[in-house]
Structure 1
């Protein structure tokens, strides 16, 4: 696995992959479409969730965000009205790691990108609902850029999958980025848009705007979650029903959305960063990660 991951990283860094994204693991070869033996759903669009994080290391906080159902307000009408049981699940999920972080450079004590991806695969393959999960790496530091690159990549991938299965080339898709509150703050920070509010508004309008009009938008959405202290999952638990407070935004009225967001009282929970922090005892970090990831950390001597 490590050699193939290194090859994928090298292709991204040398510009050989276009667009600069590669899927390094998926639960089945047809992802993000359903497996060949499973019928397609009746929704108008394939709903794909994107959990983009540094995964240093992947924690139960990441797992809770990835497992959270789509907010009811964002679910396709067919999923609410046509199905007897509405689970709120996305049609496909993507765990995404950027090899070019806009803020952070690797420190000597950090896990390497290969190690992070291998731990992400531990999360994906150990998920009870892993039939629709993939792990990917991307060479793009900003969310607006990731949305654009992923749309280009997935349009071609879905087209190929449809051709292989002799399906009509009619399947649209929509990306929903799942963010923690600290990550959400970066989406609306002007420093990622040349310190220009006007450029930020323009970029975010393209991010949120529908693909169906003439604006050339990505039709992407954002969902952000905040875990309550009482609901933090224990490492021994395999349940995916972790309590996650979820909010969402798919409004094209970006100026008002940014204004509302900036007036909020943020209660940022940095649990996903605790394991890599200096000075945490063994029992503390073991409570923050799954058994499979914990075993990987011990076997590879990470975070010492």
Structure 2
């Protein structure tokens, strides 16, 4: 782990140096990938578009909501004749192979070093720790995905970092790197160039911010090109469960003007209510204020708290947080 930490630190240093040369240019860097040809699927037809499911978050820390967002997106959304199809019932999913549907090719866990609304504080964990936790989450996703499924994207994962907080800039940085790789690593004998479609996974609260004019000089002119090649996967969030208000938002003049028919560019999925309630803030608060393990003494109360945390975040993430003594006021090095 020490060697991996040092490698990420060195990678971030060179990343920052490159960014300093041209701060206005969005940069994207891959810090981990499960396949040397990521984001290309090993079973991909080079004539079709490469579809990438992207989960962008602060991962502070990764939770079971993050896990479910990426897994549900890949296993519930399919494509036929260039259009998305949502299949969430197990009965219908048995018909997938017969219908000749297409799938996501790969996944990306994305972290932005800058946040449009927040400034990294001294109590937050470092960029390096977040990227290490993202790699841990990626490994967990791969290990819990059966090999004999159509969902190869869940085993074709990458972790990446981007310099800019706005989605229009993130997409620009990602596509710039992918197109440069496409012209070299992914070239084909018939000179066919790769096409990429990015599917950003986010909660409904983030979709609202995406259409907030305060983040743009001219929202219509800046967002319209974004939706030409990119898509949004929107999941329900606790506190934003008024269906009527949500429908009004999607049917509003500004949304329809920018993206046209909502169902073509914004794909909506439904998380279980218990999953939709999970937040990184809740995990941090419990670890900081309630988890008090000392000298290997596991009281019944503390065991219950640990079980609550394991319901909120994957076990490998919980173990990483405890091992690295993150989010805590009191050291737990003697666990």
Please give the TM-score of this superposition, normalised by the length of structure 2. Answer: 0.68
Higher mean alpha-carbon deviation, 19-28 vs 165-174, is at 165-174
Shift of 1:161: 2.3
| 1:165-244 to 2 correspondences below 5 Å | 166=189, 168-194=191-217, 199-209=218-228, 219-226=229-236
Q: Distance in 2 between matches of 1:41 and 1:75?
A: 14
Shift of 1:19: 5.8
Shift of 1:223: 0.8
| 1:233-272 to 2 correspondences below 5 Å | 253-254=257-258, 269=277, 271-272=279-280
SS at match of 1:56: coil
Task: Write the deviation string for residues 249-293 of structure 1: whole angstroms up to 9, x where unpaired.
Answer: 9x87317779xx9xxxxx984624321235355434332110100
| 1:119-158 to 2 correspondences below 5 Å | 119-127=133-141, 128=145, 130-158=154-182
Note closer, same or farther for the CA distance 1:76–1:252 as it changes in structure 2 (3 Å cut): farther
SS at match of 1:29: coil
Aligned to 1:11: 14
Q: Distance in 1 between matches of 2:33 and 2:176?
A: 19
SS at match of 1:148: helix
Please give the TM-score of this superposition, normalised by the length of structure 1. Answer: 0.74
Q: Distance in 1 between matches of 2:159 and 2:190?
A: 25
Aligned to 1:56: 60
Q: Distance in 1 between matches of 2:76 and 2:65?
A: 21
Note closer, same or farther for the CA distance 1:299–1:83 as it changes in structure 2 (3 Å cut): same
Task: Write the deviation string for residues 222-267 of structure 1: whole angstroms up to 9, x where unpaired.
Answer: 11112689xxxxxxxxxxxxxxxxxx99x87317779xx9xxxxx9
**Counting helix residues as a fraction of each chain, which structure ranks higher?**
2
SS at match of 1:31: coil
The answer to whether the 8 Å contact 2:198/2:231 transfers is yes
Q: Distance in 1 between matches of 2:117 and 2:317?
A: 25
SS at match of 1:203: helix
Q: Distance in 1 between matches of 2:200 and 2:107?
A: 10
Q: Distance in 2 between matches of 1:60 and 1:82?
A: 26
2:94 corresponds to 1:90: no
Q: Rg larger in 1 or in 2?
A: 2
Task: Write the deviation string for residues 174-204 of structure 1: whole angstroms up to 9, x where unpaired.
Answer: 111000122222211122114xxxx111111
Aligned to 1:25: 32
Q: Distance in 1 between matches of 2:121 and 2:183?
A: 40
Note closer, same or farther for the CA distance 1:85–1:8 as it changes in structure 2 (3 Å cut): farther
SS at match of 1:274: helix
Task: Write the deviation string for residues 94-127 of structure 1: whole angstroms up to 9, x where unpaired.
Answer: 0000011112222222221100110100111121
Alpha-carbon RMSD across the aligned residues, in angstroms, is: 3.4
2:75 corresponds to 1:65: no
Task: Write the deviation string for residues 39-60 of structure 1: whole angstroms up to 9, x where unpaired.
Answer: 3237731111111000000111
In structure 2, list runs of 5 or more residues that go unmatched: 86-94, 146-151, 240-249, 267-272, 292-304, 329-335
Q: Distance in 2 between matches of 1:125 and 1:255?
A: 35
Q: Distance in 1 between matches of 2:77 and 2:129?
A: 37
